[in-house]
Structure 1
Amino acid sequence: MKFPRLVISLKKIEENAKKVLDMLNKHNIELVAVTKLVLGDPKIAKTLKDVGIQKIGESRLDNIEKMIKNKISGPFQLLRIPMLSELDKAVLLVDEILISDETTALKIDEIAQKYDKNIELIYMIDVGDLREGVWFENACKTIENIAKKLKMAKLSGIGTNVGCFGGILPTKDNLNTLVGIKKYLDDKLNTNLKISGGSTVTLKLIESGELPEKINQFRIGEGILLGTDATGHRDIPYLSQNTVILEAEVIEVDYKPSVPVGKIGRDSMGRIPEFEDKGWRKRIILAIGEQDIDPNGLKPFDKRLEVLHASSDHTIIDYTESEVNYKIGDILKFKLSYGAALRAFTSPFVKKIYQ
């Protein structure tokens, strides 16, 4: 067997997907299953489609192209605002595009006319997180004016993103801001726009009964794929967190001081490390590093392990408090944070196997 590796439980991902889909269906909310974490992995995408999820959301056109080549059917939603240089490809490959700018919207419309392709646009609105989108106070007139210029492309909805940059949580108040903008635009444009206002962190508002009823599309990846909510800082209790397990091999076992000897500068990543003096400690080195994972996102199965630090290709762990007498060649198992999983799926040095 080759290590490090991700052991991916398609069955548990399927179970998570079905639970989320059933929850959203009860509230008449469309689920867009997001595959960017797993780079549009066709096996995982097929699992999502097989439970009845209709629409796949992706940030990168290469991943969408890979799914199509592996017979994963759309519709596809392009999550990241597209670059002008990729708009031809985007219009040909996807069905729904998130946008936030007039230049992009009108160029998509022009290309859609060229290919005679119906394409739907969701205009993103910034309700405070400071990532993409027109500022909410300017949204009504801005979006109205752009929608009236479209000839082939269709404004099908408005949306927002929270949590990913500013850490802003979704609330009844900031989502009701979208409801008010929708009402204005529907009146002015004679439309019935969808509101793509939910992600994994927004599931909490469904659980508490606080979600405004006009919110009718969620874009969810992390909750289904990992059973976690990074922005809400929780394991989602009704979903499995045993979907993706990292296995890494021990390449050194030793007994060393807990504080380096000599003048401390910066580490290999340019950071100034800090150390607590705990005396001499038992340590493990794993054959995996920051090129493959975020060490801060490793969650050991052995709860008595302490992940100390990592360089590009080594991860150092304190096992002094563990009851296990580790040796070279042993395999350690970890659950992963979203950030650690993202890097592991992206790394070509981490093998992916499926169960």
Structure 2
Amino acid sequence: MYPKLDVYVEKIIHNALYLQQECRKVGVELTVVTKVVRAMPEIVIPLRDAGVGSFGDSRMQNIKRLRDAGVENPLHLIRIPMLSEVDAIIEHADFVFVSEIDTLKKIVAAKGKRKTAVLFMIDVGDIREGVWYEHADRSLEQAVKIAGRRLIGLATNLGCFGGVLPDETNMRMLCDLGKRYALPTLSGGNSAALLLIEEQRLPKEINHYRVGEAVFLGTDVTRNRSVPGTDPDTFILQAEIVEIQVKPSVPVGKIGQDAFGRKPEFEDKGLRKKAIIAVGEQDVIASGLLPLDPKISVLHASSDHTILDVTESAQPYKIGEKLSFRLSYGALLRAMTSEYIFKNIVV
């Protein structure tokens, strides 16, 4: 069944255990973030069985899916929660990240299966979630009174919204606050923060990371790099060619916006041999398709079609053949979410 996403579980396990080992060398516990694979039990359970200690996800549906599959490892809800999901949190999640005092009050007051521990989010510059670091004391003083021992630490997130890179300065902001309130856990980052460990620049007080991209793809998109020691060939998308035609490289006629409101740009290269594959923006982010054939170029995509330039390839491609692609993080996220892509677990 195509399009098909081959999932190489053993390579993912290698990445997870390698990164867990490297983190533990400097006193950092690693939580593997499973949101990019929708916490598929077929992927997460082998990770658990191989020795991964804890998991995190941004969606309560995914955390519940893991509990229903028998995963009893510590689970972190890493997206700041909706008030409407507090009851589910205390039923299924061991840790939750919060940034609002009203949310914290509701979590502490809720009665349920678990005494869910809390990490308070501090925004040290990326301007996504978290109380702004310059006036964090006011919120933290309240949080300590409300949550007591259930407030176990502080956390920050960098690189995901504003593109701000983790460094010694913004990590030190978190450390200083943690010391002031004697909180034992400082969750300092994601895949973007791994470089601080590699370069031995991570403040010793930081003792927890939440990592997904580097585990599942071996990459760090914030610096456009491969993470040393990891395997990048964890997911391969196969898509079928449905048309091959020689056509102009520039459309004929007045150009407006495409179906997604974008105004595409074209370089005039004359006539080109083009292939259309049966996968589109509903399934992947086409700009995140990385052809294994280096002579193929991804041109553009609509909802259901992706157009490729295969002119330079030495392969005599025909309709019905399958083309293979690595995926960027964004493309993998969408592909795993799409019900139209068959997930083939390779063990």
Q: Give the secondary structure class of the aligned counterpart of 2:152.
A: strand
The aligned residue for residue 125 of structure 1 is 122
Q: Give the secondary structure class of the aligned counterpart of 1:72.
A: coil
What amino acid is the match of 2:161? F
TM-score of the pair, normalised by structure 2: 0.98
* Aligned CA-pair RMSD: 1.1
Query: Does the alignment pair 1:264 with 2:264?
Result: no
Q: 1:300 offset after TM fit, Å?
A: 0.4
Question: Are 1:81 and 1:97, in contact at CA under 8 Å, matched by a contact in 2?
Answer: yes
Question: Are 1:140 and 1:185, in contact at CA under 8 Å, matched by a contact in 2?
Answer: no
What amino acid is the match of 2:159? G
Distance 1:293 1:99 in 2: 31
Q: 1:162 offset after TM fit, Å?
A: 0.2
The aligned residue for residue 86 of structure 1 is 85
Q: 1:268 offset after TM fit, Å?
A: 1.0
Tell me which stretches of 4 or more aligned residues in structure 1 moved more than 4 Å: none
The aligned residue for residue 189 of structure 1 is none
Distance 2:338 2:140 in 1: 39
TM-score of the pair, normalised by structure 1: 0.96
Q: Give the secondary structure class of the aligned counterpart of 2:300.
A: strand
Query: Which residues of 2 match residues 195-214 of structure 1 at below 5 A?
Result: 195-214=186-205
Distance 1:140 1:209 in 2: 29
Q: 1:116 offset after TM fit, Å?
A: 6.6
Moved more, 302-311 or 49-58: 49-58
Structure 2 vs 1, CA of residues 353 and 116 (structure 1 numbering), >3 Å: closer, same or farther?
closer
The aligned residue for residue 292 of structure 1 is 283
The aligned residue for residue 3 of structure 1 is 2
Q: Give the secondary structure class of the aligned counterpart of 1:183.
A: helix
Give CA-to-partner distance per residue, 1:223-260, whole Å, 9 cap, x none.
01111111121111311110011100000000000000
The aligned residue for residue 274 of structure 2 is 283
Distance 2:273 2:239 in 1: 18
Distance 1:6 1:204 in 2: 29
The aligned residue for residue 174 of structure 2 is 178
Distance 1:150 1:195 in 2: 17
Question: Are 1:99 and 1:122, in contact at CA under 8 Å, matched by a contact in 2?
Answer: yes
Report sequence identity in percent.
Answer: 46
Distance 2:338 2:93 in 1: 26
Give CA-to-partner distance per residue, 1:297-335, whole Å, 9 cap, x none.
011000011100000000000011111111001110000
Query: Does the alignment pair 1:46 with 2:48?
Result: no
Gaps of 5+ in 1: 187-191
Question: Are 2:89 and 2:116, in contact at CA under 8 Å, matched by a contact in 1?
Answer: no
Gaps of 5+ in 2: none
What amino acid is the match of 1:204? L
What amino acid is the match of 1:165? F
Select which of 187, 208, 224 maps to 1:233. Answer: 224
Q: Give the secondary structure class of the aligned counterpart of 1:332.
A: strand
Q: Give the secondary structure class of the aligned counterpart of 1:167.
A: coil
Distance 1:221 1:78 in 2: 13
